[in-house]
């Protein structure tokens, strides 16, 4: 690093980083001391000046180390990476030790200024005191604060322009615990591509969806969405964005899960809204995969490719799949990746049902740029374009909406994500067992991609990790084949008696993705905003029950369901209670599925581990 570069990095630490007239590092030190009214020639000036000079040199070295790491890390073998990581980790402790030592003279001076008990009591402990050791908490610190202490005028000026990220300003915008979660979800979702992506957290999944739509959609744009989406999403699109007095967005739906079905509808929508498109309006694509309530898997890579070939922006709600089952941003070809990925942390990622939270992930240049800056970058569609700071999600919407995730919720999600993979694996096993066992019943229709004979099975096998199903599916009691086969539907009264006897094995709760198995009737709850016609188009019958599978023993769940069916059927329909698989059949099925999935899971882990040669 040349002397000018070293000077520039030292200048970053100056309280006069924008107005300095110092010619060199020594001049920066003198200028800083004089800025705070300290005589450089005094004893205090000489000692503090020596520290300031070393800090300036250390900042230059830290940036040189950052650049070196970026340039060489991929070529290092694992042993060198271990050494490199731990050497830099220890250097962090050394820097913290210096800062911790500096607190002692700072505290003494502070206490000498606040010699009045009343004033000291109101002021409280100064924020810098005793916080250094919190850096080494084994879990992220819950930063419960509305605002932050800032260093000086020119640094906070930069912070408000997004150019000084040390200052998070205000917890409605940024909070260290939430930022920690954002970085973590990007790593899980994007893997080796993580450096290209950025995430913003929200206080609910719906807030994440709404912010993304508000960022992208303009008046009279067009949204082409997959048919099966969460009811709240359907309502937001139809009743707010589609409302003429709001944005008058044209909301269109496509049926099916295959790219070819999407392509057919895209052509039809393009013709239908040719006038809007000719006037400069755009089509945006919105997917939910796996979808709610049936858990069907869409051909996300194929649909992304078709959309990007047309230069369209695509949003995908991947909540039900999680990064473990459907890592959409790890696709090798960027053309097959969504432009925006949304998760409701509330579901499987947190898992415990004790918080609501959401996230949006996209390429960095679409999410945040410092104020006044622009970059040229190649998007997922392969086209290079200029991205301006005021077109990023942060400045365009997020900065003014105020839906940021607070530190306590962020901590709950971070804690839950530690066990998410194992919880999801157990749920997938239970899903396969329950779906196959219920499919044996002559009066129950099972809608689940886990069944080999199901139309969605091929996409599930091709696109989901290990070919596992989403831990969500539906059943209904509408009868198979109707009266012609002598299979009349279960009566509504009987169905209600059954449903109301499902506790405590099945939680009668809304939401999904909890550790316990929960059930609901979509037509009455999660999708009650849909019209009868829309319900029919989404494959939701009056007797449809959505099962969000938990981590319990599936034999316990199945036996309770069998007993509840006997209570509900009574003498009215004995065949209903008698149609369930036997305990021996269920045990054999559970054993086979458990061994098969775990064997494939272990083999995959062995296959993906790449230890460097000794």
Do 285 and 333 reside in the same domain of the chain? Answer: yes
**pLDDT tens per residue, range 566-606:** 999 988 888 888 899 999 999 999 999 999 999 999 999 99
Q: At what angle do helices 420-439 and 583-608 cross, to 10 degrees?
A: 140
Asked whether residue 166 is domain-assigned, the answer is no
Do 402 and 472 reside in the same domain of the chain? Answer: no
Do 311 and 327 reside in the same domain of the chain? Answer: yes
Provide mean pLDDT across the span 498-522.
93
- Above pLDDT 70, what percent of the chain? 98
Strand 472-476 versus strand 507-508 pairing type: unpaired
Provide the CATH number for the domain around residue 182.
Answer: 3.40.640.10
Q: Which residues contact 436 (CB under 8 A, 6 or more apart)?
A: 450, 451, 589, 593
Cis peptide bond upstream of 290, omega within 30: yes
φ/ψ bin of 382: left (φ > 0), alpha (ψ from -120 to 50), beta (otherwise): left
Provide the CATH number for the domain around residue 547.
Answer: 3.90.1150.10
Asked whether residue 165 is domain-assigned, the answer is no
CA angle 328, 600, 449 (to 5 degrees): 55
Q: Residue 613 — very low, low, confident or very high, per pLDDT cuts 50/70/90?
A: low
Long-range pairs for 9-12: beta carbons < 8 A, 24 or more residues apart: 9/56, 9/59, 9/60, 9/63, 10/56, 10/57, 10/59, 10/60, 12/59
Checking if the pLDDT of 486 tops 50, the result is no
Asked whether residue 314 is domain-assigned, the answer is yes
Checking if the pLDDT of 51 tops 70, the result is yes
Strand 313-317 versus strand 283-288 pairing type: parallel
Do 337 and 323 reside in the same domain of the chain? Answer: yes
Provide mean pLDDT across the span 57-63.
97
Checking if the pLDDT of 279 tops 60, the result is yes
Asked whether residue 171 is domain-assigned, the answer is no
Checking if the pLDDT of 614 tops 60, the result is no
Distance CA 473, CA 64 (A): 53
* pLDDT of the residue at 485: 42
Do 220 and 363 reside in the same domain of the chain? Answer: yes
Do 196 and 222 reside in the same domain of the chain? Answer: yes
Asked whether residue 155 is domain-assigned, the answer is no
Do 426 and 403 reside in the same domain of the chain? Answer: no
Question: What one-character-per-residue DSSP string does 576-604 give?
Answer: HHHTSPPHHHHHHHHHHHHHHHHHHHHHH
Do 462 and 599 reside in the same domain of the chain? Answer: yes
Q: Residue 270 — very low, low, confident or very high, per pLDDT cuts 50/70/90?
A: very high
Please tell me which residue, 121 or 368, carries the higher pLDDT value: 368
Provide mean pLDDT across the span 436-440.
96
Do 116 and 198 reside in the same domain of the chain? Answer: no
Q: Which domain holds residue 397?
A: 177-416
Q: Tell which of 140, 155, 185 closes a domain.
A: 140
Selection from 172, 229, 161 nearest residue 201 by Cα: 172
Between the two ends of the chain, the Cα-to-Cα distance in Å is 34
**pLDDT tens per residue, range 388-431:** 999 999 999 999 888 899 999 999 999 999 999 999 999 999 99
Instruction: Return the CA Rg of the chain.
Output: 29
Cα four-point dihedral sign 441, 442, 447, 448: positive
Checking if the pLDDT of 36 tops 80, the result is yes
Asked whether residue 148 is domain-assigned, the answer is no
Provide mean pLDDT across the span 238-256.
96
Checking if the pLDDT of 106 tops 80, the result is yes
């Amino acid at each position: 690093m040349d002397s000018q570069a070293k000077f520039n990095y030292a200048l970053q630490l100056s309280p006069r980083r924008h107005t300095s007239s110092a010619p060199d590092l020594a001049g920066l030190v003198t200028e800083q001391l004089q800025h705070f009214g300290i005589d450089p020639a005094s004893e205090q000036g000489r000692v503090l000046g020596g520290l300031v000079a070393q800090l300036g040199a250390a900042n230059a070295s830290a940036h040189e180390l950052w650049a070196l790491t970026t340039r060489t890390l991929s070529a290092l073998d694992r042993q060198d990476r271990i050494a490199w990581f731990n050497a830099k980790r220890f250097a962090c402790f050394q820097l913290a030790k210096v800062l911790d030592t500096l607190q002692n003279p700072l505290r003494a001076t502070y206490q000498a200024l606040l010699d009045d008990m009343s004033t000291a009591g109101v002021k409280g402990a100064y924020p810098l005191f005793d916080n250094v050791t919190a850096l080494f908490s084994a879990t992220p610190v819950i930063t419960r604060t509305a605002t932050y202490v800032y260093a000086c005028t020119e640094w906070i000026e930069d912070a408000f322009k997004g150019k000084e990220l040390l200052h998070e300003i205000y917890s409605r915008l940024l909070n260290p615990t939430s930022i920690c979660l954002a970085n973590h979800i990007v790593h899980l979702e994007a893997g080796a591509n993580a450096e290209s992506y950025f995430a913003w957290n929200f206080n609910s999944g719906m807030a994440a969806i709404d912010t993304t739509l508000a960022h992208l959609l303009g008046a009279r744009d067009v949204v082409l969405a997959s048919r099966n989406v969460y009811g709240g999403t359907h309502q937001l699109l139809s009743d707010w964005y589609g409302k003429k007095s709001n944005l008058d967005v044209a909301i269109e739906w496509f049926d099916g899960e295959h790219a070819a079905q999407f392509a057919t509808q895209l052509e039809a929508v393009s013709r239908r809204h040719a006038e809007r498109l000719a006037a400069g309006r755009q089509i945006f694509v919105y997917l939910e995969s796996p979808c709610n309530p049936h858990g069907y898997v869409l051909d996300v890579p194929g649909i992304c490719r078709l959309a990007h070939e047309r230069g369209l922006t695509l949003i995908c709600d991947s909540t039900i799949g999680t990064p473990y089952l459907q890592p959409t941003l790890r696709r090798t070809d960027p053309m097959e990746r969504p432009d925006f990925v949304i998760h409701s942390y509330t579901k499987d990622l947190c898992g415990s049902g004790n918080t609501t939270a959401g996230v949006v992930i996209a390429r960095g240049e679409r999410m945040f740029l410092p104020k006044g800056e622009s970059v040229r970058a190649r998007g997922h569609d392969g086209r290079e374009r200029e991205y301006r700071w005021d077109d990023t999600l942060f400045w365009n919407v997020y900065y003014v909406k105020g839906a940021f995730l607070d530190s306590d919720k962020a901590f709950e999600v971070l804690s839950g994500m530690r066990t998410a993979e194992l919880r999801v694996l157990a749920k997938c096993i239970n899903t396969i067992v329950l779906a196959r066992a219920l499919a044996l019943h002559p009066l129950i229709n099972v809608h689940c991609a886990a069944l080999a004979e199901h139309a969605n099975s091929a996409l599930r096998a091709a696109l989901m990790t290990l070919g596992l199903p989403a831990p969500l599916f539906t059943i209904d009691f509408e009868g198979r084949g109707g009266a012609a086969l002598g299979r009349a539907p279960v009566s509504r009264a009987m169905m209600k008696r059954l449903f109301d006897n499902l506790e405590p094995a099945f939680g009668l709760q809304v939401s999904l993705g909890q550790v316990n198995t929960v059930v609901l009737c979509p037509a009455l709850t999660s999708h009650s905003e849909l019209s009868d016609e829309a319900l029919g188009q989404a494959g939701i019958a009056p007797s449809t029950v959505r099962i969000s599978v938990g981590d319990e023993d599936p034999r316990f769940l199945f036996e309770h369901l069998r007993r509840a069916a006997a209570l509900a059927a009574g003498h009215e329909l004995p065949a209903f209670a008698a149609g369930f698989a036997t305990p021996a059949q269920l045990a054999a099925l559970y054993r086979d599925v458990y061994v098969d999935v775990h064997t494939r899971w272990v083999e995959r882990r062995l296959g993906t581990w790449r230890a460097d040669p000794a």
